[in-house]
Structures are given as structure tokens and as C-alpha cells.
């Protein structure tokens, strides 16, 4: 595999709807804080990294499995980019919602890692769709049970209900024009306190979080073949340069490179 290129393995939607595998072996990587709308489950295959969540940082090493809940802002800082390899599975929350709950960042080792590796092999080999889904459900059940015992960081807190309300509002209105003045009036919290507490709790500002959501949604548009210009119009980016710059910061490659890789896998 080319060590300078992210390899995306797109699963045929007729086999598994809402599932994406991403494997990364590369020398250049410059991720800023970002979010994924999906549940992210990843295995460190080589090297080690520090990942920032909220105001906490945790270290992950080879053979560590990590669970990151949807819409949680984070940033990854590998120790040595020349010795860095990971594989991620992204799962649309619609697949498991109302049946399972993943709200906690978790580091897992041991038996669950083997289960994850078996699932990756099945997905990559194009195994029977029913068997793949059985493995996925078995894996999610195992990870949910394990995560209850091995939580590193839980990002929900009843003490911060107002901040969670603000975050939820942005989750649903990120395509719209939002101002600190609007949020200030809507939630009864002055903008200085809002920015300070939001950044302390979520490790990002409301404006930056809104941008992270827009880039995450833009990735889905690219998956469906939407033109970059149309995405800029729909998502409200200033121009194509702005969109391309922010996408590359958060995903390591440009929208055009991402679209080309996705096209090669279809």
C-alpha cells in the first residue's frame, strides 16, 4: 500500500447500509479538532497517539481499541507519523439507536480486539451479508458491555445541562446563520461565559463546532457524488477555497482526493 495515501474501503450499501471502513497508513497528517456523525470504533495497528476529548487527553497504543461517540469533538496527535497506522469503522447511529447506547469514550484491549479484527476481515473479504451483520451485532453488544466497565471520559453531565442544550441546538441548526448574540438571548447566558464554558467542556468553541459539523456533513454529500460547488452552496461555506481548506485540515486529504478514492472503490 502507498504509505502516503489514506485508503478508504467503501462497503457496498446493498451489503451493509451505513457502514464505512477507513484504513490509514501515511506520513503526512495534520488533523484539527473535528467530529464524526457516526459512532467511531478504531484499532491502533502501529505506533501510539494522544487523543484530546473535551479538556482531557488520553494515550492509545498498538492493539488498543477505541470507541468515540457520535458528535464528540476530538483531535489525534500521533507520536511518530512514520510509525502510525490505524483502522476505523464508522457506524451510522440510526443502525443501533433505541437498542444500544454509546456515550462514553472507551479504551478496550483483549478479546474484543479479536472480535473487531474478525469483523474487519469479514467486511473486507465480502463475506455473506447475513454473517457480516451477525458479527457486527455481536461486536456491538460486546463493546457496549465492555464500555460500561472501562469508561475513560463521559461527555454528558447533568451539571452542564445548559451547555448540552446549546450543543444540541447547534447539532440541528448548523447549516443556518448562528450568532453569539442569538445564543446569548436564546439560552440566557452571556457570550463570554458561553465561549469559556463551552470550550472547557467540549474542547472547542461554538463556531468551530458548527464548522466541524458542516465538514462532517459535506463528507456524506461527497459520498453521494454531489459536486463541490453545490456542497459549498448548501452548507454555507464562504467559497470553495474555504471548504477545501477546512476539509483537508479535518480529513487529511482534499475533497477532490476523497471523492476520487471513493469513486475507485465503487
Residues 57-75 have pLDDT tens digits of 889 999 999 999 998 888 8
Q: Give domain limits for the chain.
A: 5-154, 158-264
pLDDT in tens, 10-66: 444 434 677 888 888 764 444 678 888 899 999 999 999 999 887 778 899 999 999
**Intrachain domains 5-154 and 158-264 with the same fold:** no
Residue whose entry in the numeric block shows the C-alpha cell 470504533: 41
CATH no. of 5-154: 2.60.120.280
Nearest to 147 by CA among 41, 55, 33: 41
Q: What is the homologous superfamily of the domain 158-264 according to CATH?
A: Homeodomain-like (1.10.10.60)
The reported pTM is 0.63
Q: How large is the C-alpha radius of gyration of the chain? A: 18
Predicted local distance difference test score (pLDDT) of residue 260? 80
Amino acid at each position: 500500500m502507498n504509505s502516503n495515501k489514506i485508503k478508504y474501503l467503501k462497503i457496498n450499501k446493498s451489503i451493509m447500509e451505513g457502514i464505512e471502513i477507513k484504513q490509514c497508513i501515511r506520513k503526512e497528517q495534520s488533523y484539527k479538532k473535528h467530529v464524526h456523525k457516526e459512532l467511531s470504533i478504531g484499532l491502533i495497528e502501529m505506533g501510539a497517539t494522544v487523543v484530546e476529548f473535551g479538556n482531557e487527553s488520553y494515550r492509545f497504543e498498538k492493539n488498543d481499541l477505541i470507541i468515540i461517540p457520535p458528535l464528540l469533538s476530538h483531535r489525534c496527535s500521533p507520536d511518530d507519523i512514520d510509525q502510525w497506522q490505524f483502522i476505523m469503522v464508522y457506524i451510522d447511529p440510526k443502525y443501533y439507536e433505541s437498542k444500544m447506547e454509546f456515550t462514553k469514550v472507551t479504551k478496550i484491549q483483549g478479546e474484543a480486539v479479536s472480535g473487531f479484527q474478525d469483523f474487519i476481515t469479514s467486511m473486507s473479504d465480502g463475506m455473506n451479508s447475513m454473517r457480516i451483520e451477525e458479527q457486527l451485532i455481536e461486536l456491538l453488544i460486546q463493546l457496549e458491555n465492555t464500555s460500561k466497565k472501562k469508561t475513560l471520559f463521559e461527555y454528558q453531565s447533568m451539571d452542564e445541562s445548559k451547555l448540552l442544550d446549546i450543543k444540541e441546538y447547534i447539532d440541528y441548526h448548523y447549516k443556518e446563520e448562528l450568532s453569539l448574540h442569538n445564543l446569548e438571548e436564546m439560552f440566557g447566558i452571556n457570550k463570554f461565559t458561553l465561549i469559556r464554558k463551552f470550550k472547557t467542556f467540549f474542547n472547542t468553541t461554538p463556531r468551530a463546532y458548527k464548522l466541524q459539523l458542516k465538514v462532517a456533513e459535506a463528507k456524506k454529500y461527497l459520498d453521494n457524488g454531489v459536486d463541490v460547488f453545490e456542497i459549498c452552496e448548501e452548507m454555507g461555506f464562504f467559497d470553495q477555497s474555504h471548504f477545501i481548506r477546512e476539509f483537508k485540515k479535518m480529513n487529511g486529504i482534499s475533497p477532490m482526493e476523497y471523492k476520487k478514492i471513493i469513486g475507485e472503490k465503487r
